Amino acid sequence: SQTIHQWPATLVQPVGSPLSLECTVEGTSNPNLYWYRQAAGRGLQLLFYSVGIGQISSEVPQNLSASRPQDRQFILSSKKLLLSDSGFYLCAWSVSGATDTQYFGPGTRLTVL
């Protein structure tokens, strides 16, 4: 069966510090991968998605970036965090295909102080 992992689970970082959140998927090959952000009390905002290694699509202009160094690894990064980057970050995967179900990881709670 497929599983998705995210770490860290919780992170507190000062403004201006770098960020690296990692997501890995097990039990499947060539998944579509997604990064979402959820601000407190709000819905999900798609940040990035990837349909293959090195293929990253950005949905929202910001100081965040994403990379996919391996087939089942998706990384969300920032060189300098802003207060507005605080939120809950969710990684998801789906089988390659246009309308397949997305399965979510446990998420990372990021607080920027």
Minimum Å distance from CB 16 to another protein?
A: 26
Q: Quick one: tokens of 27?
A: 């039990």
91 in helix, strand or coil?
strand
26 binds another protein (CB under 8 A): no
Minimum Å distance from CB 36 to another protein?
A: 8
51 binds another protein (CB under 8 A): yes
Site for another protein, rule CB under 8 A = 32, 34, 38, 42-44, 46, 49, 51, 59, 88, 90, 92, 94, 97-107, 109
